[in-house]
Structure 1
Amino acid sequence: MSLTHSDVTRILELLDRAAELDSLEVRLGDFVVQASKSGAVAQDSAAVFRPAAPAAMQATPNAAPAAASPAEAAVQIPEGMVAIRAPMVGTFYSSPRPGEPLFVEEGGVVEADTTVCLVEVMKMFNSVESTTRGIVHKILVRNGELVQHNQVLMLIAPLPA
């Protein structure tokens, strides 16, 4: 039995939400997932995914779970705005690849189902789409920034159909 991307994402989300846990280790056959919250372990706060065999190499992904900052918790959604939220814990990317044009810019018009950014978890890039036709009012995160599950990424001012 092996872990899927969804399984690992769910494990990281559970750790992120559990106030009483600072770290965890999940063993499934020869596969081990170790994760800790920022500041919980002095050496490295990133999640480590490795086979249980000692000779295997370790890999550390870019995304690490972290507690939501007060700024993220205080985001107020103005009346009439639509919030585009992170579907999972991961790294926010504003363009498909470095050096390529941005998916959207503040003031730009988006259609419903338009890709507005990517959220990367463990080298898997997940498209985030606009849920409405409108104007990008505000982008609240920077390219390469870690985001939390359900964090508001941007605000869209809906346009009439």
Structure 2
Amino acid sequence: MLKVQEIRELIKLVDQSSIDEFVYENEGSKIKMKKTGSVTVSTVQPAVHAAPEAVQQVPVPAAPAAPVQVVKQDAPQAEPASSAHTENLHKITSPMVGTFYASPSPDADAYVTTGSKVSKDSIVCIVEAMKLFNEIEAEVNGEIVEVLVKDGQLVEYGQPLFLVKPE
């Protein structure tokens, strides 16, 4: 079985690649990763079978004759309103689906708040997935400009958690 750090590395590699889906199986364990936010459109049209001598032109309506099925996967939550405001900011994103915790325990202070200074290896929060508490690091030196999620909120893979003004 892969270790949590190895899974994180796989997530980063899949995220940075152009593939949309990744499946890994080994010794009865299976990991399946699928990028979110993509839209798949499928159009089904009936097949027309006719004898060659009976072929005739049939007017095609503007809309498809068969139903069109649109499947939309959940996209990460909306970014803050001003794109110019976030243009030069680093986004700390969730490396997995889970529950966001701002502090190490319910009675402790939050790891960081707006205005907190962080370094690359500073722990900024915990994302809990399947009873595993994963510490999330800042990945950049700077100052926390905005906390984008609330304590106890469910987060998606790739969802921005914090905005950091890099130094």
Q: How does 1:54-93 map to 2 (within 5 A)?
A: 67-68=74-75, 72-75=77-80, 76=83, 78-93=86-101
Q: How does 1:2-151 map to 2 (within 5 A)?
A: 6=7, 10-11=31-32, 13-14=33-34, 67-68=74-75, 72-75=77-80, 76=83, 78-151=86-159
The answer to whether the 8 Å contact 1:9/1:88 transfers is no
The Cα of 1:83 is off from its aligned counterpart by: 0.5
Which residue number in structure 1 is paired with residue 62 of structure 2?
Answer: none
The Cα of 1:132 is off from its aligned counterpart by: 1.1
Count of residue correspondences: 110
The Cα of 1:80 is off from its aligned counterpart by: 1.6
Give the aligned CA root-mean-square deviation in angstroms. 3.0
The answer to whether the 8 Å contact 2:100/2:127 transfers is yes
In structure 2, what is the Cα distance between the partners aligned to 1:153 and 1:95? 14
The answer to whether the 8 Å contact 2:37/2:75 transfers is no
The TM-score, its normalising length taken from structure 1, stands at: 0.57
For residues 48-106 of structure 1, give each alpha carbon's deviation from its aligned partner in whole angstroms, at most 9, with x where no partner exists. Answer: xxxxxxxxxxxxxxxxxx9346xx14444712211000001111000011111110010
| Structure showing greater Rg | 2
Gaps of 5+ in 1: 21-65
Percent identity between the aligned chains? 35
Which residue number in structure 2 is paired with residue 36 of structure 1?
Answer: none
Alignment partner of 1:154 is 2:162:
yes
Secondary structure of the 2:121 match is coil
Secondary structure of the 2:110 match is coil
The TM-score, its normalising length taken from structure 2, stands at: 0.55
Secondary structure of the 1:153 match is strand
> Closer, same or farther in 2 for the Cα pair 1:104/1:17, shift >3 Å?
same
Which residue number in structure 2 is paired with residue 55 of structure 1?
Answer: none
For residues 98-122 of structure 1, give each alpha carbon's deviation from its aligned partner in whole angstroms, at most 9, with x where no partner exists. Answer: 1111100101111111000011100
Gaps of 5+ in 2: 8-23, 41-72
The Cα of 1:19 is off from its aligned counterpart by: 6.7
In structure 2, what is the Cα distance between the partners aligned to 1:80 and 1:10? 34
In structure 1, what is the Cα distance between the partners aligned to 2:115 and 2:30? 32
